[in-house]
Copies of this chain bind each other. A is one copy, B any other.
Amino acid sequence: MNHAILLISCPDQKGITAAVTNFIFQHQGNIVHADQHIDEQSNTFFMRVEWSLDGFMLKREDIQRSFAGIAGPFKMQWQLSFTSRKTRAAVFVSRHLHCLYDLLYRHKAGQLFCEIPLVVSNHPDAAKLAQDFGIPFFEFCVEHQNKIAQEQKQLELLRANQIDLIVLARYHQILTRQFVDCYPAQIINIHHSFLPAFAGSNPYLQAYQKGVKVIGATSHYVTEGLDEGPIIAQDTAAVSHRDSLEDLKRKGEDLEKIVLSRAVRWHLERKILCYGNKTVVFD
């Protein structure tokens, strides 16, 4: 697969789609996927277009400059990527390993189009698992007084490995604003409730005490506010009075795995556009 993908957003006006698709056609590109959306409230146009580079008349390095001539007049915010370059993802985890298991299995099975050069944790529990999958494991013991320093070391590690996506697969540390600012819309978290209900700690306990009949999981981009970033994916499952707190956790784990891997896959396939505190997902 040798494709280019453009993600575009701009104020809506006539002719945007024609301009973009003409650009591709004039250089002999074959569109394999195109989708668009207009947010009527803000009059914003969103588009994702993917085309084959087989026979495309522009070199990769020239597309960026050439397309800028289209993008300018429409005041586009845009992002160009190529399927020939795999995203490099780091997985952060603490002691609950189900999401890490799931991600590594899917990665090995070819469902996640990325490289996973490292697993990071504040506990040693995941070391054996990472090892079984042949992935380097790095432990950073994080405590209140060393948090800033440890985050600095983590950032160095991430940069040294050219990481461009961080997946928080039940990583039970709140990242500082400084850390988050280094990876805008590049950190995906799984929260084990249907946000905005039960934000913060112990969401299954909160759900159990409230007596809800549905539990959920939410994957979202991490922003400064805890559990408040743009929601990417959510799913729910039915529960009843028969379900103990342990049952909620067990049923919830299955949701977490599905919802997190869905968000990661969409991110890797460049299917997500953020606007304000929401997402457009061109699934």
Query: Which residues of A approach B to under 8 Å, CB–CB?
Result: 12-18, 21-22, 24-25, 28-40, 98, 101, 105, 109, 111, 132, 194-198, 210-214, 216, 230-236, 238, 240-242, 244, 250, 254, 258, 276-281, 283
Contact = CB atoms under 8 A, between A and B. Distances in A.
Count this chain's copies in the assembly.
4
Contact of A132 (B132, B196, B235, B280): B132
A29 to B, nearest CB: 7
A14 B34 contact: no
A155 B274 CA distance: 51
Contacts of A16: 31
Contact of A197 (B21, B98, B196): B196
Contacts of A254: 258
Contacts of A244: 40
Contacts of A283: 240, 242
Given A18-B21, A24-B18, A38-B32, A214 B236 contact: yes
Given A22-B18, A241-B37, A234 B258 contact: no
A269 B281 CA distance: 22
Nearest to A239: B234
Of the candidates A38, A198, A211, A280, the one having the most CB atoms from chain B within 10 angstroms of its own CB is A211
A196 B198 CA distance: 8
Contacts of A22: 18, 21-22
A185 B176 CA distance: 46
Contacts of A28: 14
